[in-house]
Amino acid sequence: MHYNRTVHRWLTIGMAAAIVLAAATSEVEARRYFIGARGGLATLAGGERPHFYHRAAYGFEAGFDLNARWTFEGSLTLYDLYNDPTLENSFSFSGDKANATARFKGTRIGADLMTELYSPAPWFHLRGGLGGGLLIWKMVDPVADTTLESIGSRNETIDFSSTEIFLSARVGAEFRLASRLSVILAAHGDYLTGAGTDFADAVGSDRDHWLLSATAAVRYSFGGVEERDADKWPDKTALPPSTTRGLDSDGDGVADSEDRCQDTPPDVLVDQFGCALDGDGDGIMDGQDHCPGTDVRARGLVDIYGCPVDSDFDGVPDYRDECPNNRSGAVVDDRGCPADDDGDGVPNGLDDCPNTLFGVPVDRYGCIDLAMFDEPMVLNIDYDPGSFEIDHSSQERLRSLARVLMVAPQIRAEITGYTDNIGPEEANRALSEKRANRVRDFLVAQGVDENRIRAEGRGESNFVATNDTAEGRAMNRRIEIVFHK
């Protein structure tokens, strides 16, 4: 059966009238509007070979809420599809347009009435609906880009193109990223009715009758009670009667008959469906959130007031604190890590001596650790036989000692040299004195006041190990530095 132009015109007028009537009968005062951009994959199916394969489709959408459960959605989508004679079906993603014998160019103008099917949380909604619209399409030669020809109902030659009415079914899931920003994942099935075409019966039965697509859309919402009246009516229990028709058990400004979340706590901001808003997605509802613009990285790391947690109280919240266990009072950088200008291991803010020389031992307060002077320093210098020169490793220890003595002027040092029992006693005493004096001269060369240092040699005395072994004799050949405070 074919539809003439008059039927086509009246069907179009009827659809437009239905849209206008739906808009006119909706609750204008609390209406939410939205706009969005969509993209996805589409194919033609249901006809004889050669089959079309999935190709990208894109477009725009807009709409508004009719009431708490129903939404009107309009869309404009563009299609550019190719067939491929090598394909066994229309559900392939790997067709090659180099094989194409026909190219489908289409513009879909659709309208859908969508209803809530399932909503376990304010941020997730599963919706389904029915609709229809016009598909303006033509089949063209993929190389020459000229419209292909077909056979009309009176066996005449006509262009293989039409403005055709379709009926559609749709199901989709909305993921609300913020109070007014959502991502929509949806699947469409459009049945091409033939209304508006004028093809021969054989052409009509062989051609594809289904336009199938899967889309993803980003949608922005505006309008609605929560945006228009938030400043004018800060107390939601005092919203004007036109927005609270009927009983409102939880006092959120949305009547129970339209309230999908009827146990909303006091002072929480809600959407047009009566469900709590959480603009920053931190789990603390708007109206109770003292920090409403929380960074998305802080989700799961906020307190009961919606503010980022700072466990170590250093001023840098945990979600961006790279050093989360600082001592209280420490000065930190923008990463939350302690600043330590003098490099002594005690952070600024806790350092009572903030200008300590680098490498000088300090106590827990950042000041010179005088405890190191409680015990003598013993140097087992690896002397060559008869030599009094200081080896390299001992020089490094003496440099460190000199740095401490320079900043602790109250400390005096007494240097004593010892030898083993090899050789004449008097020669050993003289050698030990030279070795003690050499250590004193080294410290003075590092800047220590010579008046704070006394040196002497005691030769082969005060043995600390046996002289019967090489190891014992090496321990007896030593320099002892005793400190006096």
Under 8 Å between Cβ of 115 and 69:
yes
Q: Which residue in 67, 25, 9 sits closest to 224, CA to CA? A: 67
Q: Per-residue pLDDT for 426 more than 80?
A: yes
What distance lies between CA 125 and its chain's CA centroid?
A: 23
Quickly count: other Cβ atoms within 10 Å of residue 380's Cβ: 15
Q: Which residue in 77, 73, 64, 74 sits closest to 104, CA to CA? A: 77
Angle value at C-alpha 297, between 296 and 298, nearest 5 degrees:
90
Angle value at C-alpha 63, between 134 and 170, nearest 5 degrees:
60
**Which whole number is the average pLDDT over 2-24?**
51
Longest dimension (CA), the chain: 138
What distance lies between CA 22 and its chain's CA centroid?
A: 41
In this prediction the pTM is 0.47
What's the CA gap between 24 and 39, in Å, rounded?
Answer: 30
Under 8 Å between Cβ of 20 and 12:
no
Structure tokens that stand for 190 in this block: 């459009």
pLDDT tens for 282-337 read: 888 888 888 888 888 888 888 888 898 888 888 888 888 888 877 877 788 888 88
pLDDT tens for 328-364 read: 777 888 888 888 777 777 888 877 787 676 667 777 7
Amino acid occupying residue 206: D
Task: Enumerate long-range contacts of 144-148, CB under 8 Å, 24 or more apart.
Answer: 145/103, 148/102
Average model confidence (pLDDT) across the chain: 84
pLDDT at 234: 43
Buried b (16+ CB within 10 A) or exposed e, 158-176: bebbbbbbbebebebebeb
pLDDT tens for 208-266 read: 999 999 999 999 998 764 443 444 434 444 444 444 445 877 777 788 777 888 778 87
Structure tokens that stand for 254 in this block: 């949305």
What's the CA gap between 140 and 156, in Å, rounded?
Answer: 19
